[in-house]
A = this chain, B = another copy of it.
Amino acid sequence: VSCLQDFFLIYCHIWDDKNTNVRVSLPAVCFVWQIAMIVLFGVFIRYNPESDAHWVEHMRTENISSDIENDFYYRYPSFQDVHVMIFVGFGFLMTFLKRYSFGGVGFNFLIASFGLQWALLMQGWFHFLDHSTGKIYIGVENLINADFCCAGSLIAYGALLGKVSPVQLMVVTLFGVTLFAVEEYIILHLLHCRDAGGSMVIHAFGGYYGLAISWVLYRPNLHLSKRLNGSVYHSDVFAMIGTLFLWMFWPSFNSAITDHGDGQHRAAINTYLALASTVLTTVAISSMSQKKGKLDMVHIQNATLAGGVAMGTAAEFMISPYGSLIVGFCTGIISTFGYLFVTPFLENKLKLQDTCGVHNLHAVPGMLGGFIGAIVAAAASEEVYSREGLIDVFDFEGKHANRTVGTQGGYQAAGTCVAIAFGLVGGAIVGFILKFPIWGDPADDNCYDDEVYWEVPEDEETIPPVLEYNNHMIHKHQDIAESNFSVEQS
């Protein structure tokens, strides 16, 4: 058997030697798409009244009393927190593999930088296009939304980590952002759902999108790379940087685009509480599952965040502080169980390889978050919210002025289903596109390895202290001298 395996390994090397050369495709994609962004921005994107130099005039006409009323001061601190989550949070969370830290943080950096530009356009066309001028006017809220929109594709990257080329990731992002903008338009505008922190539109969509792609790209011989599919001590500590910045700033994520005043305030409190609760149940289940109660870093790095995902829709509602704790309590348990049982099940039975376990961190908690939002919305009352509060929170204005909270709950649940459907169908299609043998993805025995796409420095063992180094030089010299001598002697 071992002989057969060896043969197979050599065979693979000869026939499956995939071409991972991206020297043409990667620069081409980057240049062409970036030039397209410049052209489209030139045609469509302008500053909005709050970021335009006409602001002083705008203040006068709109009777705004002070610069501090500029939306910048309401949202910029939250924007920066979200920005940190996208680049350091998601990026460092994916450094946990022993030899894929460059790819984890580096490709995340690349695709988020592209995705946010494309998102400004896609979301702009759907939500912010001024039909009289044909322009999209952007401000800080658009930047937050663009970061959110990227998050969907970064989540999908989590399922694909180590198994795809940067060119494939760019394709995943291009379609991911496009699909996101469409499902977001359907959910937020046509169905008139509320989803400030994106349980549905970001996490459920992004999670199922990544899972569907990964399912189509199933690699039966991925076990050939299993020596690299794991962490080392310091890579686990790096990943904790990502975990903690995601965890700490999640209150900003869920409150970044909620209503000014109580909306942002309440969303931050609810998320803060849900996340705290999640940590305790994650630790409990992780400890129960292992011999001698030892904790597993995979759970601590990931499942502790599930409470933030699950509060993405309900955070701005009057779910009440203990309600937030309950949400965190349950999702911590569910997510950790997912890592223990569902991920292995998916891999062995459903042929679905999910490197970071986005199923347990994003897909399921996101779906739950959508349904929690539906239930909390359906249970809303004028007593709890006040009449004006109810209208503000659920935006029961214009053509939605007569919608009841029950109806709203139904639409919220429907929105969750739309998000999942978009993720699954869109992901399957994108997966098939990525199967074309032109994208430079690695061979099955070459996954999870930075060597494929990065110039990796020499290893640490090669750092000799200066004295040893010099001694070594001297010895070498002596050796040569001696060998000369011995040659002469002999």
Which chain B residues border A62 with CB–CB below 8 Å? none
Residue in contact with A110 in the complex, picked from B139, B283, B460, CB distance below 8 Å: B283
Main secondary structure of the interface of A (DSSP, over half): helix
A63 CB to nearest B CB, Å: 12
Q: Mark the stretch among A320-328, A417-425, A431-439 that contacts chain B.
A: A320-328
A296/B455 in contact, CB under 8 A = yes
Bound CA span A280–B455, Å: 18
Q: Mark A104-126, 1 if CB is under 8 A from B, else 0.
A: 01100110011011000000000
A329 CB to nearest B CB, Å: 6
Contacts A23-B290, A33-B280 known; list 20 others, CB within 8 Å. A13-B470, A21-B293, A34-B277, A34-B284, A35-B329, A45-B321, A50-B265, A55-B261, A56-B386, A56-B389, A71-B265, A80-B252, A88-B244, A114-B280, A116-B276, A117-B325, A139-B269, A228-B463, A294-B453, A294-B454
Residue in contact with A265 in the complex, picked from B56, B139, B272, CB distance below 8 Å: B139
Bound CA span A92–B454, Å: 21
B283/A30 in contact, CB under 8 A = yes
Q: Mark the stretch among A232-240, A339-347, A351-359, A397-405 that contacts chain B.
A: A232-240
A297/B455 in contact, CB under 8 A = yes
Q: A237-B102, A284-B30 given as contacts; is B446 within 8 A of A466 (CB)?
A: yes
Residue in contact with A464 in the complex, picked from B38, B227, B272, B281, CB distance below 8 Å: B227
Q: Mark the stretch among A2-10, A177-185, A194-202 that contacts chain B.
A: A2-10
* Contact sample, A vs B, 29 pairs, CB 8 Å cutoff: A3-B480, A31-B280, A34-B284, A34-B329, A37-B325, A39-B322, A47-B269, A47-B321, A53-B384, A53-B392, A59-B261, A70-B262, A72-B268, A73-B74, A77-B80, A80-B249, A84-B245, A95-B237, A101-B234, A113-B276, A143-B269, A227-B462, A230-B458, A232-B457, A232-B459, A294-B453, A297-B455, A451-B465, A451-B466
Bound CA span A143–B248, Å: 12
A56/B392 in contact, CB under 8 A = yes
Residue in contact with A76 in the complex, picked from B77, B102, B260, B451, CB distance below 8 Å: B77
Which chain B residues border A230 with CB–CB below 8 Å? 457-458
Identify the closest chain B residue to A460 (Cβ): B232
Which chain B residues border A296 with CB–CB below 8 Å? 454-455
Which chain B residues border A45 with CB–CB below 8 Å? 321-322
Identify the closest chain B residue to A91 (Cβ): B244
Bound CA span A245–B244, Å: 13
Bound CA span A65–B51, Å: 23
Residue in contact with A241 in the complex, picked from B3, B241, B275, CB distance below 8 Å: B241
Q: Assess whether A22 is interfacial by the CB under 8 Å rule.
A: yes
A22/B293 in contact, CB under 8 A = yes
Identify the closest chain B residue to A83 (Cβ): B248
Q: Assess whether A279 is interfacial by the CB under 8 Å rule.
A: yes
Q: Which of A440-490 contact B (CB under 8 A)?
A: 440, 445-446, 449, 451-460, 462-466, 469-470, 473-474, 476-477, 480
Q: Assess whether A16 is interfacial by the CB under 8 Å rule.
A: no
* This chain's copy number in the assembly: 3
Bound CA span A112–B294, Å: 19
Q: Size band of the A side of the interface? A: 35 or more
B321/A277 in contact, CB under 8 A = no
Q: Assess whether A192 is interfacial by the CB under 8 Å rule.
A: no
Residue in contact with A74 in the complex, picked from B46, B67, B88, B476, CB distance below 8 Å: B67
A283 CB to nearest B CB, Å: 5
Bound CA span A31–B264, Å: 30
Identify the closest chain B residue to A318 (Cβ): B53
Which chain B residues border A473 with CB–CB below 8 Å? 5-6, 9
Identify the closest chain B residue to A277 (Cβ): B34
Residue in contact with A266 in the complex, picked from B30, B47, B277, CB distance below 8 Å: B47
A57/B458 in contact, CB under 8 A = no
Which chain B residues border A279 with CB–CB below 8 Å? 109-110, 113-114
Which chain B residues border A237 with CB–CB below 8 Å? 95, 101-102, 105, 238
Which chain B residues border A276 with CB–CB below 8 Å? 113-114, 116-117
Q: Assess whether A186 is interfacial by the CB under 8 Å rule.
A: no
